[in-house]
């Protein structure tokens, strides 16, 4: 079994060995830069010609260590949360840096019609809510739903 990892500047292969009913592999990630990486697990048969089967694929994020001295200040908010915060700042009449427009993730927010700003805020508030629910579910926490029975 072999896993291949590929990201912004790194492609690495790691062979796996059987270990207590599963497989174990070790990989040195010390030179990996923060960003999104993709992986692909594959097995190769001993047939001639060999048959290669992909058994698992996915992605994960590598985050910078907070202790690293060569990184920019870390902002762990999602793009939706950053945009929501920027909209809230505009709605409060306090744009960041006293500007009349804000750019977040390639999106420009200009002081605009309050109704349009409210619609944008509602959209991003829902996106942030979806992200939070997904995060809670991935951690095995409740999704905030309750069953109620009236008698």
> Residue by residue, what is the 3-state secondary structure of 84-98?
HHHHHHHHCCCCHHH
Supply the DSSP string of 31-100, one letter for each residue: TPPSEEEEEEEEEE-SSSSPPEEEEEEEEEEEPPPTT-TTSPPP----HHHHHHHHHHHHHTT--GGG-S
Model pTM? 0.47
Residue 141 CB-density burial (10 A; 0-12 exposed, 13-18 middle, 19+ buried): exposed
pLDDT in tens, 131-142: 998 888 877 776
Residue ranges per structural domain of the chain: 2-62, 79-138
Q: What is the pLDDT of residues 67-95, one digit of tens each?
A: 665 666 667 789 999 999 988 887 787 55
List pLDDT tens digits, range 86-121.
888 877 875 555 455 666 667 676 666 778 888 999
Phi, psi of 61 (to 5 degrees): -110, 140
- Measure the CA–CA gap between 9 and 16, rounded to whole angstroms: 23
């Amino acid at each position: 079994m072999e896993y291949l990892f590929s990201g912004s500047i790194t492609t690495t292969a790691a062979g796996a060995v059987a270990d207590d009913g599963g497989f174990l592999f070790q990989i040195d990630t010390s030179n990996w830069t923060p960003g999104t990486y993709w992986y692909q697990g594959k097995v190769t048969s001993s047939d001639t010609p060999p048959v290669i089967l992909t058994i698992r694929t996915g992605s994960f994020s590598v985050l910078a260590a907070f202790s690293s001295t060569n990184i920019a200040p870390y902002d762990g908010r999602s793009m939706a949360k950053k945009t929501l915060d920027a909209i809230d700042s505009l709605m409060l009449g306090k744009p960041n840096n006293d500007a009349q427009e804000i750019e977040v993730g390639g999106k420009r927010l200009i002081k605009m019609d309050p109704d349009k700003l409210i619609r944008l805020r509602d959209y991003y508030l829902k996106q942030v809510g979806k992200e939070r629910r997904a995060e809670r579910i991935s951690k095995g926490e409740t999704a905030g739903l309750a069953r109620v029975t009236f008698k």
